[in-house]
């Protein structure tokens, strides 16, 4: 995998937004897989700035959701559908008809999960999937010990993830749902390019396990090692526990041909 160490979150956001812009210039109707949480916000801000500057056209872009809470109505402000509307669709001027996501309020959750995997396949697959990482190494909401071949399904959040996400629910863990629908690790690995952004010291252990640890279900993000085109962008703090940081810096700067990520 390619590891890129950037000075800070804003630089990571800019680098990744530029990769998305380049993809959209090549393929205007690209299917972009997006994540929620705090980490990707600098990416969305940088991409929005490019759209406003006329440097990229998102009018034909399509957006696919990575995960969703179960039991929150779609219109709840913290449902990931609402969050993505606010943070991605509206700023980028992309309509809801170009949005693919699982139905977190479905009566039959299992059927909704299967339907979502089928919808992604019908749409031609995800071209570029953005990922954050949990402090416990989760991607999407594939918590530790998730099958590395898993498909979209319902998962139970760990206590740690619910504590981490309570900040989006007025700091009240009781309001954080216990269950989510998440693309499985096998589903995520089908995207053509995986781009994980991690920022801050709190992610340093998870990043080291992802990049330098064994491929193991105990760290779901380590499955990125199996992907032919996976890029991990980390700021200095998130890179602080990497033993090979100097090598990663050296390889990125000395790429034979500069093409971004």
136 is an active site residue: yes
**Which of 138, 153, 155, 193 lies at the binding interface for ligand F6R (CB under 6 A)?**
138
Query: Does residue 236 have an active-site annotation?
Result: no
* Strand ranges across the sheet with 179-182: 67-69, 179-182, 153-156
| Catalytic-residue membership of 143 | yes
How many residues in the chain? 261
Q: Which two tokens stand for residue 158?
A: 């760990």
> Quick one: residue 171, left, alpha or beta (phi over 0 = left, psi -120 to 50 = alpha)?
left
Contact status: 146 vs ligand F6R (CB under 6 A): no
Please give the residue whose beta carbon sits closest to ligand F6R in the complex: 132
At residue 253, the 3 state secondary structure works out as helix
Q: How many CB atoms lie within 10 A of CB 75?
A: 10
Alpha carbon distance 158, 144 (integer Å): 9
Task: Out of 3, 13, 30, 36, name the contact with ligand F6R by CB under 6 A.
Answer: 36
Query: What does the radius of gyration of the chain's CA atoms come to, in whole angstroms?
Result: 17
Of 22-30, 31-39, 94-102, 226-234, which part binds ligand F6R (CB under 6 A)? 31-39
Q: Which is nearer to ligand F6R, 23 or 139 (CB)?
A: 139
The active-site residue, picked from 68, 117, 138, 193, is 138
Does residue 67 touch ligand F6R according to CB under 6 A? yes
Binding site for ligand F6R (CB under 6 A): 35-39, 66-67, 132-134, 138-140
Active site residues: 67, 136, 138, 143
């Amino acid at each position: 995998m390619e590891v890129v160490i950037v000075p800070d979150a804003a630089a990571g956001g800019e680098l990744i937004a530029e990769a998305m812009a380049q993809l959209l210039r090549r393929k205007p109707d690209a299917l972009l897989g997006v994540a929620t949480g705090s980490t990707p916000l600098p990416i969305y801000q940088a991409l929005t700035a490019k759209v406003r500057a006329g440097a990229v056209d998102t009018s034909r872009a399509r957006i696919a959701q990575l995960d969703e809470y179960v039991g929150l109505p779609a219109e709840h402000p913290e449902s990931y559908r609402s969050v993505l509307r606010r943070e991605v669709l509206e700023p980028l001027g992309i309509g809801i008809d170009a949005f693919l996501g699982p139905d977190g309020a479905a009566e039959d959750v299992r059927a909704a999960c299967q339907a979502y995997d089928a919808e992604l396949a019908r749409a031609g697959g995800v071209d570029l999937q953005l990922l954050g990482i949990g402090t416990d190494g989760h991607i999407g909401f594939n918590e530790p010990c998730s099958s590395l071949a898993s498909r979209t399904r319902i998962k139970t959040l760990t206590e740690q993830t619910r504590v981490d996400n309570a900040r989006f629910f007025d700091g009240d863990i009781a309001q954080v749902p216990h269950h989510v629908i998440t693309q499985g690790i096998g589903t995520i690995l089908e995207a053509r390019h995986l781009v994980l952004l991690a920022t801050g010291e709190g992610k340093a252990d998870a990043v080291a396990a992802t990049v330098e640890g064994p491929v193991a279900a105990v760290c779901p993000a380590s499955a990125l090692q199996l992907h032919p085109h996976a890029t991990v962008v980390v700021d200095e703090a998130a890179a602080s526990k990497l033993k090979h940081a100097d090598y990663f810096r050296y390889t990125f700067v000395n790429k034979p041909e500069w093409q971004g990520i």
